[in-house]
Every structure is written in structure tokens, then in C-alpha cells.
Structure 1
Amino acid sequence: MTQQVNPQEGAAVKAADRAHVFHSWSAQDVIDPLAVAGAEGSYFWDFEGNRYLDFTSGLVFTNIGYQHPKVVAAIQEQAAQLVTFAPAFAVAPRSEAARLVAERTPGDLDKIFFTNGGAEAVENAVRLARVHTGRPKVLSAYRSYHGSTSAAIHLTGDPRRWANDTGAAGVVHFWGPFLYRSPFYAESEEQECERALKHLDDTIRYEGPATIAAIILETIPGGSGIMPPPPGYLAGVRELCDKYGIVFILDEVMAGFGRTGTWFAADLYDARPDLMTFAKGVNSGYVPLGGVAISAEIAETFAQRPFPGGLTYSGHPLACAAAVATINVMAEEKIVENAAHLGEQVLGPGLRALAEDHPSVGDVRGTGVFWCVELVRDRETREPLVPYNATGKANAPMAAFGAAAKKHGLWPFLNMNRTHVVPPCTLTESEAQEGLAALDKALTVADEFVAG
């Protein structure tokens, strides 16, 4: 794709945006959105001719990069053949997308309910669990994000919930494991796992097992800090769910479709959920799509009983055609394997080397192309570089770090005191090294805020 410089067009795009577009999660008069002229592969660029290596994958969804020609062609071909059709009918791209997803999901998650995105997937997974069990409550973790629709935002365990929290009945939060900032005073992964599972068991017993429909967890929590669970934790949650007759929901919206170096993060832990939500990487966000993968037991509940839910655009032909092409491309081009290789051989070692060189780096964690670099003022006390949920002047150190990254051609994913390294799964080794070099330069700015 040709990169053209056209500041006048960029100014017009920016002016129309500022006049009419209402942006999510933002104070409208404070933001300054970049006018994007184009994108290809791992890069995007503005109308001024500035090109950025995208270490955000959009919002962690362009797993196959921008403008993959085979997926673009599939969307064009489907638009020419059958651009849309109601969800009550059987149409080829919907059927094939469901088959390809079910082929890759763990266990017997062989029925697929399509949604328009991840939040709707969570909404419907919760509804499936509540109707299946006849119970009202759902347990979810602090340090989590499940979407911004009504049930999903109440399940969310980060500050985005606060302004939307109406004290909705039926949602109970608990602490998941996170050894670096352990709520259980653990000193090892084994202790963290054991104590986190006891805490969850206690929560279940005090809430009343017969009132709990589901436990929902991000397999690897993403937006809240990319925190891989300790060995044995997800298996332990599975055992608790079996013990109390609770539905186990895994949220793979961010972690799924290659990002962790496996088709799903659940594959890393041999986890067996009853329901699994997905979106984002299923078609790299080329057309909005999400869904719920459903076990045989829960599907049987609705064999003769109607499921009380539906969406006008469930399994939209264009979105499903994009999913079919994306999944096939990922298999043919060994994109999942590439993500695993990058994590093991390039990103993991490279980020750990940066941690050795920069006192502002408190922790590095992740897998595949799903990494977090936690920035601190003091490694010993683990004081975050900026306060929890900081805004304005309090967030100045992270803002300075982000500006430095962009100056060196890297678009970073910033969240609180962290930068997440979440590039496309198609990233090359040379692009990874380019990104690591830019991070190295930006971290010298973060180092200036380290105590002492």
C-alpha cells in the first residue's frame, strides 16, 4: 500500500472527527486522536508521513496484521455473492466459520453462538449459564475486563466499572492469582495458587453455592496486566465448579486465536471450560464478530427449550467470511507457530534484557505476542511508576514514556503503570527487534522518574 503525504486531507479528517465523533472512555475535549491515512502488516501511518510500528494490534485484535490480502479478498467476494442475511437461515460462511472455530476449541465446545463482539459474547455466556443452572449469581475476578455492556461491565474488575456500577444483583468479585502483587502474601507460585483457590472456595461457600450460576475468568487476564495464572490454578477452578455444579466460563476475547502462541490460551493450561467467549482475533477485527462456544451439556438444555436471546447481525456473512479466511490463513501461514516462536526466542528474551538495563522495569511477564512490562518507581517496594488509575499530572511519567516511544516510531499500548507488548502475530523478527530498540530508548525516559 502506497504511503502518501497529504496534510490537508489529514486536517479535514481530524476536523470532522472533532466536530462529530464521540469517542469511548474519553473526556472529549482532552483527547487528540491521530488521523490515520493507512495501514499494512504491522505498521500504520498518518497524513504527515509518520509511520508507526503498532505494538497494540489496534485494541489487541489485528492478529494477522492490517490489510491481509486473502482476508480482504474474502470480504470482497462475499459482498459480491451475499452481503447480508438474517441469522435464522443457514448460510455458507456462517456454517463454515462455526465449524472452523469448533474444530479448535477445547473439549466438546462444538456449538457456536455468534455475536458482534466480545462484550455481547460475555452477555450471552452469562445468560446461557443462568438459564442452564437456574441460579442468579456470577463470580468474576478483580483485575479483569469483560466488556462495557450491562452485565459485562458489572463483571469487569477494573476502574472502568466504577462509573457504571449500579450495584447490579448477581455479581460477586474475588481476587485471582497474581504473584507480583499478591493479595495473599504468597512467596511462590505454588503458594499463590493454593491460597487463591482457597479464597475462591471460601467466597463460593459464603455466597452460597446453590446461588452461583457461573465463574468467569479471562484465561490470561489481558487489559488489566497480562497475568498468566500459576500452574494448577485453572484446573483447581474447574474442580471447584464441578464440586458445586457451577458453570465455568473462560473469556478468550483477547487471548484467543494465536496471541499466546496457541489457538487459545486454554491450550496452555489444559483448561476445560463449559463456555468460552471469543472475538477480536477470530477475524482480526476486519468486520465485527464475536461468539460463545458452548459445551454439549449446556447446548442440550436448549434442545427443546428456546434460548432467550438473539442478535439481528448474529453470524453476519461478511464477518464470518472474514473469520473463515483468517483462520485458514493462520493455519496455512503458521501464524500461531510464529507467535510462539517470537515469544520464546525474541520478545521474551528481549524484554527480560531490557529489564536488566532499566531500573524502571519492575516485572516482565507473558507468552507468545502477549506481554506486559510493569513500570515502577522503586523495584524493592514495587511502587508503580504512576498511582493506580492515575489521570492528568499524576500520569505524567507514563505520558512521557508514551511520547518517547512514538517519537522513535513505536505506537505503545499504555494502561496505568504498564506498557503491553501486543503486536500482530504476524510480526517478523526484524520488526520485533525494531520495536524492542524503540522501547529501549523510551524506557530511558521512564528511568528518569525512578526514586533515588
Structure 2
Amino acid sequence: MTGEEIRSTLKKYNLQSWSKQKNLNPISVEKAEGIYFWDYDGNRYTDMSSQLVNMNLGFGNKAIGDAIKAQVDQYCFIGPSYGAESRAKLAKKIIELMPDNMGKVFFTNAGADANENAVKMARMFTGRNKVFSRYRSYHGSSFGAGNLTGEPRRFPLEPGVPGFIKFFDPYIYREPIDFKSEEDATKYYLAKLEEQLQYEGAGSVAAIFLETVTGSNGVIIPPKGYLPGVRALCDKYGIMMVCDEVMTGWCRTGKMFGFMNFDVKPDIVTFAKGVTCGYIPLGGVAVSKAIAEYFDDNLLSCGLTYSGHPLACAAGVACVNYFEEADILGNVNKVGKVLGEKLEEMKAKHPSVGDVRYIGLFSAVELVKSKATKEPLVPYGKDPEGLMGKIIGLLAERKFMTYTHENVVLVAPPLIITEEQLTQELKKLDDVLSIVDEKFLG
């Protein structure tokens, strides 16, 4: 098929995620390598969001491809109750990368069903029914994960499942309180969380779910002491601490898992995306030794046809090996420092940039109408004039490919990006922000 045939066929037969379908015009991709992909007219685009923050190792990684091919030659599928070498190897590797309190892994197909199964496990283990998660969170769009989700993508699922309770992120930039320090902010947010636990009946709460660093909803990084404080509350009330590492896992934040930046040991960790870097879908739930031992004598009422799919696990083993052998963490921390410095320069330069937040190669640029008032460039949950879409369009014209959510532009390139490549691409973002300053602030 030609590029135009692909595009027209998709528009006729395919429903695209999170989109009004009428005016879609998808780019037909002919080839991809590293951090770049090309359309059928030979135009080269730079992937500055790692697609959906999942292609941590970029396109065309030979080690992953070869591992998949070798598994195809052995067999493509065997059910979850049978022994598959790739499944065994990946489970062992994941637990060895986790803190010493972790015990076993249950494999899923992606992040949403990882979170759904984590809910079930926490409820079965504790015998409790309520689950806390944050308003500015995204945990998936299937029914259970969509009820965990706090932002507007949960609305089509409502009225939802009973027992899902929302609380506020430690979003210091948007807080009307002028905190003297991060520690003061932490004290405030933890006190409000504990108060809400008491109102809901802490003894009925099975789990507190947190994106370790809030992802698409703004790369909101927890203040000093916040995650250890949540851990302490969970210990105090017998609640499971669940870290959603679907985006922040697998080297994205400069550690193998995001929670490792904050000196905590969760009871449950969910993951997906970077475990196979998008080459084949895979997710999972890592649980503590205590939870794993509970299911030695109690039924684990979780099951998926493709749990631990051999092809996906083969890709996962190759990915984890590559992270270590290629010192991806070293590159993330080196290039991530440059990313932070460049973003701070843009914040100082551009009236439209209210805040920048970054950890490793995970970052967000928050756009405002006024630095003084912090009024968002678009209202929460709305974009009546399509301003954010226009900004993404301006970036796409320059072949800088990413996405926005609310008033935030995400910058999360593949973890293999070099300093030179990053600097070259950020000049494009700088140019577009100048246009936003001039034309969108008025």
C-alpha cells in the first residue's frame, strides 16, 4: 500500500483512540530507527515522547528483535500454566531488580490490566474494599483502571464501581498555599490524606495507588518526604502501598524504577510499557513476599489467556539485559541533566511557561496565560479554541513529535537520545514557545 492508501483505509475502517474521528489525518509510517521515523514521502520525524512513553529504547533495537525471532522459532505461545523459559527468566530478573521485600510477579497484557489485577490482589490480601487514588492520575481506560483514574478520562465510566476514592496530588505549583519548603508541603498533604483516610474508615481501605511521578497529567514530582510519609500511613493502617510504574519504570527517571528515587519499598508495583519498549505488549504486577506467600494457600483469583506470553517475555528479557549492558541509566542521568538545564532556560525566557518539571528523561512544560496569576493556557478538562492542538501542530511542522494533556507539553524522548540530538530538538520547542508568547497570550 502507498502512504495515502494506508491513511484513507485507516480513516474508513479504524477508530482511533481519544479522538474525534472526522478530521483525522494520520501519518503513514514507512520505516523507523533509533529516535526517528519516516513517512512515505521521506520526511523524518523525531519521537520526543517515546510514542506513548513506552519506547524507551527507541526503534529497531536488534537485540529485542532477535530475541523475539528466536522465541518464534521455538514456539509462539504456550498457556500460562506451562513452563516457558522466557517467562521464568523475566520473572526472576524483575524480582532481582526490585527491593528485597518483593516476592513474585503476575504477568498481564498491559498497564491497565496490571492495575486492575493489583486492585484485586490488594482486596483479596487485606479483605478490605476501598481503594484510594489521586485526581490527577491516569491508570488506564478499561473499567477497573478507569475507576482508579482521577482525571476526566474516567467520566464516560461513571457512575463507577463503589469503593474507589480520590485524593489530591501534592501539586505545589497549583496550590494556593505559599509553602516555605517542600517539607512543609509534604506535612500538609500527608495530614489531609490521613484525615481523609479517617473519614473513609482507614480499616476499610485496601490500597493507596500512586503514579510514583504523576505522568501525562503533568509530570508532578512528589516533594521531599512525601512517598515515605505515604508508606508510613500505609504501615500505620495496614494499607497496601501500590506504585504504578507503567510510565516511570524501566530507567525513565534515572533509576530502574521511579520509587527508587524516594527511598521507599512498595507492597505492590505495577509495570508495562518500558518492560518490552513497545515491541510486544506486556505488563505485570510485582507483589511483596507477604502477599506472594498469602496466595500459597489462598486462591489467586486472577487469570488472563496471555499472561506471560512467551514472545512478550522474550522481548522483556532482551530489554532488561539491554538496559544493563548498554548503561541506559548512565545515559538517562547524563542527558537528563541537560534536559533540565534547557527547560529551566525556557522557563526563564518565555512568558508562556509557568513551570517546568523533570526527572531523568521525563519532563513537562506547563503553559500559562500569566506567570503572575498562573492561569492555565487552557481551562482544566477543556480546550475550546484548540490551543494545545495548535501548539502540537506547530511542533509537528518542525517534526518534533509529542503530545499534550491539559495545559502541559510532554517531553519524554527515548532513553537512547544523545546530548546533541536533544539540544537540536529542544531548539524547535524553543521556537514554538516564542510563537506561543507572541500569538497565544495576546
Query: Normalization by structure 2: what TM-score?
Result: 0.98
Identity %: 44
Q: Which amino acid aligns with 2:386?
A: N
Matches of 1:238 and 1:356 in 2, distance apart?
A: 36
1:13 corresponds in structure 2 to: 6
Match of 1:247 among 219, 240, 249: 240
The answer as to 2:406 corresponding to 1:416 is yes
2:332 corresponds in structure 1 to: 339
SS of match in other structure, 1:250: strand
Superposition deviation, residue 150 in structure 1: 1.4
The answer as to 2:349 corresponding to 1:349 is no
2:256 corresponds in structure 1 to: 263
The answer as to 2:229 corresponding to 1:236 is yes
Q: Does structure 1 conserve the Cα–Cα contact (< 8 Å) formed by 2:103 and 2:292? A: no
Matches of 2:368 and 2:440 in 1, distance apart?
A: 7
Unaligned runs of 5+ in 2: none
2:374 corresponds in structure 1 to: 382
Number of residue equivalences? 442
1:319 corresponds in structure 2 to: 312
Unaligned runs of 5+ in 1: 1-7
The answer as to 2:385 corresponding to 1:394 is yes
Q: Does structure 2 conserve the Cα–Cα contact (< 8 Å) formed by 1:376 and 1:450? A: no
Superposition deviation, residue 408 in structure 1: 1.6
Superposition deviation, residue 110 in structure 1: 2.6
Matches of 1:450 and 1:11 in 2, distance apart?
A: 33
2:46 corresponds in structure 1 to: 53
Superposition deviation, residue 167 in structure 1: 3.1
Q: Does structure 2 conserve the Cα–Cα contact (< 8 Å) formed by 1:70 and 1:329? A: yes
Q: Which amino acid aligns with 1:386?
A: V
Superposition deviation, residue 351 in structure 1: 1.1
Matches of 2:313 and 2:437 in 1, distance apart?
A: 46
Matches of 2:176 and 2:302 in 1, distance apart?
A: 38
Q: Which amino acid aligns with 1:137?
A: K
The answer as to 2:275 corresponding to 1:285 is no
Q: Does structure 1 conserve the Cα–Cα contact (< 8 Å) formed by 2:11 and 2:24? A: no
CA-based RMSD:
1.3
Superposition deviation, residue 54 in structure 1: 0.6
Match of 1:31 among 19, 24, 45: 24
1:72 corresponds in structure 2 to: 65
Match of 2:432 among 442, 447, 452: 442
Superposition deviation, residue 450 in structure 1: 5.4
Q: Does structure 2 conserve the Cα–Cα contact (< 8 Å) formed by 1:179 and 1:188? A: no
Superposition deviation, residue 239 in structure 1: 0.5
1:161 corresponds in structure 2 to: 154
The answer as to 2:287 corresponding to 1:297 is no
**1:199-253 Cα deviation digits (max 9, x unpaired):** 1000100000111111000100101100110010000001101110111100000
Flag the 1:307–1:385 CA change in 2: closer, same or farther, 3 A: same
SS of match in other structure, 1:384: coil
SS of match in other structure, 2:404: strand
**1:40-59 Cα deviation digits (max 9, x unpaired):** 11011211221111111010
1:363 corresponds in structure 2 to: 355
Matches of 1:349 and 1:252 in 2, distance apart?
A: 25
1:308 corresponds in structure 2 to: 301
Q: Which amino acid aligns with 1:445?
A: I
SS of match in other structure, 1:377: coil
SS of match in other structure, 2:297: coil
Query: Normalization by structure 1: what TM-score?
Result: 0.95
Q: Does structure 1 conserve the Cα–Cα contact (< 8 Å) formed by 2:51 and 2:402? A: no
Q: Does structure 1 conserve the Cα–Cα contact (< 8 Å) formed by 2:352 and 2:441? A: no
Superposition deviation, residue 185 in structure 1: 5.4
Matches of 1:118 and 1:70 in 2, distance apart?
A: 24
1:432 corresponds in structure 2 to: 422
Match of 2:84 among 88, 91, 101: 91
Matches of 1:28 and 1:406 in 2, distance apart?
A: 19
Q: Does structure 1 conserve the Cα–Cα contact (< 8 Å) formed by 2:213 and 2:220? A: yes
Superposition deviation, residue 187 in structure 1: 4.6
Superposition deviation, residue 107 in structure 1: 3.3
SS of match in other structure, 2:81: coil
Matches of 1:183 and 1:247 in 2, distance apart?
A: 30
Q: Which amino acid aligns with 2:6?
A: V
